Structure 1
Amino acid sequence: MKTIIHKAEDRGFANHGWLQANHSFSFASWYNPEKVHFGALRVLNDDIIAPKMGFGTHPHDNMEIITIPLKGVLKHRDNMGDDWIPVVPGEVQVMSAGTGVQHSEINGSVDEYLSLFQIWIIPEKRSVQPRYDQKTFSAEDRNGKLQTLVTSFKDGDDNSLKIHQDARLSRIDLKGGESFTYDLKSKDHGVYVMNISGEVSIANNQLNSRDALGISETPDFDINATEDSELLFIEVPMISL
């Protein structure tokens, strides 16, 4: 098993006033040559956005973009006909940028901060038709068990959102004292584990809130929760850039 730990306090940080952004991987003006990507996972931003503020219209291409709101309400608009669609905690948003898309993302509340994860995954196919989708996932369905959020179009899971990459995004909530064994899809995959909250132990590594661990070259690994914890798994092919 190969592991790499990313402590929360070692992430890149940018304070834009209206936006407080923590970067797990090199992004915008923050660059760390040892933190450019984890396999096909290129971006994991942990953003807090002030009320009524957000990202104005801007372009993307050839990237699979996943957004997971944690608190507040996100509103999405794009040039594919989606006009200020709300995305709230419990929902997940995916967008295949493909040949090119223009979109805006704002905090839809006038008085509450918006907290979210923004994830970029390098696609296995370039110049696809741009698309947008979102889906609601019940928190009850991840109590002590894996809840799959996003998979590849080639995957037979009809209950998950789809992207153009052989990836799997999933969540689990564990009570203190509970354990779980995560099984990887393939020996060519790795998993980036983000501990959203709580405290867990994986392969002799203790993860506190917002700590992350990249795991590869193993068929599975065990997670032991030392307190109530919420975990996000981003499993991707271990490609090189």
Structure 2
Amino acid sequence: MIVERRSEARGRGGAGWLDSRHTFSFAHYYDPQWMGFSALRVLNEDQVAPGAGFAPHRHANMEIVSYVLSGALAHRDSQGGEGVLRAGELQWMSAGHGIEHGEYNASDREPVHFLQIWIQPDRLNARPAYAQRAFDPVARRGRWATLVAPDGADGALPIRQQAWLHGVRLGAGEQVGFTLDPERAYWLHLAQGEAEVAGRSLHAGDALGLAGEQGRLVLAGRGAGLADVLLFELPPL
């Protein structure tokens, strides 16, 4: 099974300081056909105006990953976790039994553009945790890098779920493959640029969900810029 989720079909939210696109139901956007995919519950593309941000608020029992596409994102939480993420960097916050946190644009001049990702954990009421990491973009050019992995295996950011996040950057004409396990589900999101995947042309914000598929998934970069591709490897549906 392969499902398409086109960028223009996503929900929209936000206020004057926030422009947000929701791949799945979130906040005031509700679509019963798009409640998540396997353990992937939220995938929001957010643009936050200079000096603005999300005031402190509380979450519990959710794995939250943020990936900055441009600009700088500041984080602070009630467990003492804090930092500033810049383009290409990721942060992981496990809300565990409960944590209060806020995210802000670290600049008063430039907007910040990032992905907000929620994944349901495989354990409840764990101790909250936080980590952030920069990954060398050169190491992702034309080959997969594991960005997130269960409990931080192989130098990736940790996550409390049997889920992985892989990333690759492709220039025009560059190709890469990924061998699919029919016992896993996959969500492929094109964060930036253009690519061709499984014979489909994808543009920034487009996504494909795959379940029960096997064989080699082939991706190719298209267009003038780099395609920034994220592939979530998830428990079966």
User: Shorter-chain-normalised TM-score: which range?
Assistant: over 0.9
Aligned to 1:160: 156
Partner of 1:141: 139
Q: Secondary structure at the match of 2:138?
A: helix
Residue 132 (structure 1) aligns with: 130
CA distance in 1, matches of 2:113, 2:72: 9
Aligned residue number for residue 15 of structure 1: 14
Distance in 2 between residues matched to 1:172 and 1:145, nearest whole Å: 6
Q: 2:107 aligns with which of 106, 109, 117?
A: 109
1:225 Cα deviation after fit: 2.4
RMSD value, Cα: 1.4
Q: CA deviation at 1:70?
A: 0.9
Q: Which runs of 5 or more structure 2 residues have no equivalent in the other structure? A: none
The 2-side partners of 1:199 and 1:106 are apart by 29
Q: What amino acid maps onto 1:151 in structure 2? A: A
* TM superposition shift of 1:183: 2.2
Give the corresponding residue for 1:173: 169
1:188 CA drift (Å): 2.5
Which of the residues 174, 188, 192 maps onto 1:193? 188
Following superposition, the deviation at residue 179 of structure 1 comes to 1.7
- Per-residue CA shift, 1:95-117, capped at 9, x if unaligned? 11110000111111011001000
- 1:136 Cα deviation (Å)? 1.0
Q: Which amino acid in 1 is paired with 2:19?
A: Q
Percent identical residues = 37
Aligned counterpart in structure 1 of residue 121 of structure 2, from 114, 118, 123: 123
After alignment, is 141-150 or 204-213 more displaced?
204-213
User: Are residues 1:183 and 2:170 paired?
Assistant: no
SS in 2 for 1:194: strand
Q: Do the aligned partners of 1:202 and 1:221 also contact (CA within 8 Å) in 2?
A: yes
Please, which runs of 5 or more residues in structure 1 have no aligned partner? none
2:94 is aligned to 96
Residue 158 of structure 1 aligns to a residue whose secondary structure is helix
Of 202, 219, 224 in structure 1, the residue corresponding to residue 220 of structure 2 is 224
- Equivalents in 1 of 2:100, 2:148: separation in Å? 22
Instruction: Indicate the SS of the match to 2:25.
Output: coil
- Which sits farther off after the overlay, 43-52 or 197-206? 197-206
Of 193-202 and 18-27, deviating more is 193-202
TM-score, normalisation: structure 1: 0.93
Map of 1:211 onto structure 2: 206
Provide the secondary structure at the position in 2 that maps to 1:140: helix
Deviations 1:107-141 (A, max 9, x none): 11011001000000011111111100011101101
Alignment partner for residue 148 of structure 2, among 132, 147, 150? 150
* Alignment correspondent of 1:74: 73
One-letter code aligned to 1:213: L
Query: By how many angstroms is 1:147 displaced?
Result: 1.1
Structure 1 residue 82, shift from structure 2 partner: 2.5
Q: Alignment length, in residue pairs?
A: 234
Instruction: Report the equivalent of 1:46.
Output: 45
Kindly indicate whether the alpha-carbon contact (under 8 Å) linking 1:38 and 1:238 is maintained by their aligned counterparts in 2.
no
Alignment partners' CA distance in 2, 1:32 and 1:46: 17
* Residue pairs, 1:30-45, within 5 angstroms: 30-45=29-44
